[in-house]
Amino acid sequence: MQHVLVTGGAGYIGSHACKALAQAGYVPVTFDNLVTGWQDAVKFGPFEKGDLLDRARLDAVFARYQPVAVMHFAALSQVGESMAEPGRYWRNNVTGSLNLIEAAVAAGCEQFVFSSTCATYGDQDNVVLDETSEQHPINAYGASKRAIEDILRDFEAAHGLRHVIFRYFNVAGADPDGEVGEFHQPETHLVPLMLDAIEGKRDALTIHGTDYDTPDGTCIRDYVHVCDLVDAHVLGLKWLEGGKGSRVFNLGTGSGFSVREVLDHSREVTNKSVPCVDGPRRPGDCTKLVSGSQRAEDDLGWRPQRSNLRQMITDAWRWHQNGHYDR
């Protein structure tokens, strides 16, 4: 069976990708330093502990498994933190990714699927972003991801490294079977924070910014179910295996929900109110990010099955009540 190296495979999205790859007939090899990931989430293939900044470790893993492709999720991803500590984001995300890309080329692995972000587009209100939209990131997280996209293009020109880039924003939900789910320490994502507040695991949810130029004053995001998202990544791998060229795809529903709308849907799912307080805006947050996915539908045949807000919260709530990881 063919091996696929999955960086960040012990994290939220990466662990779901490993399950999707295993179901598609691949052997996912998780490469993770466990700073934000969980070894308990590695259930679908071998685990190799390592850091992307350690080139020798990467070379050893490539030599051992000879993967046919890389699926790259590992990254620091907190917008506010990236504003306060840009050097950490450039070093970890960009230098680490450069090490990975160079190691892949050296090992003759010429298929690369990259988890990018709609944060590369910056703050572009009242438009549905597509792959031709200009990229003007307003924080170090988005800027670091855009830089990696540029590196991939340069390595294709120089070394023939074909790649698929996926840009998406808010990912939610969990594996319907309950094998893996979303669990961060510290937690920063809206849906699990909201569910924590409902269960009394935190005093209240803080709404960061209530004066945005939106109908209810809270920022708007496009939400994609994690299972739909990783299905697209497997389709991206199939695209490369079919001999097709490098391509960028947005992944989204084309419609967004405000923070308050997410809270309203959670009440419908859980039958419980969300204790919340209003707080100031976070540095680097955009007003509205909505991402269309017509190209992914047309070229990859991607049809999201679970990316409605009620389903995402339902799956997340099920995991939240029953799932956890231990160090």
Domain architecture of the chain: domains with CATH? 3-172+222-250 (3.40.50.720), 190-220+254-322 (3.90.25.10)
pLDDT tens figures, 223-280:
999 999 999 999 999 999 999 999 999 999 988 999 999 999 999 999 998 999 999 9
Task: Choose the catalytic residue: 12, 121, 141, 212.
Answer: 141
Q: What is the pLDDT of residue 326?
A: 62
State the helix-helix crossing angle for 190-198 and 259-270, rounded to 10 degrees.
Answer: 50
Positions in the chain whose pLDDT score sits under 50: 327
Q: What is the pTM of this model?
A: 0.94
Model pLDDT, residue 285 = 78
Of 213, 223, 184, which is closest to residue 81 (Cα–Cα)? 184
Q: How do 257-258 and 220-221 pair as beta strands?
A: antiparallel
As given in the structure block, the two tokens for residue 112 are 């690369």
How far, in Å, CA of 142 to CA of 82, rounded? Answer: 9
Look at residue 327 in the predicted model and tell me its pLDDT.
47
In the residue annotation, 141 being an active-site residue is answered as yes
pLDDT at position 122 is 84
Token pair 């695209």: residue = 239
**Per residue in 2-25, pLDDT tens?**
999 999 999 999 999 999 999 999
How many beta carbons lie within 10 A of that of residue 164, not counting itself?
Answer: 28
Contact 309, 317 (CB under 8 A): no
pLDDT of residue 126: 66
Q: In the prediction, which pLDDT does 125 show?
A: 67
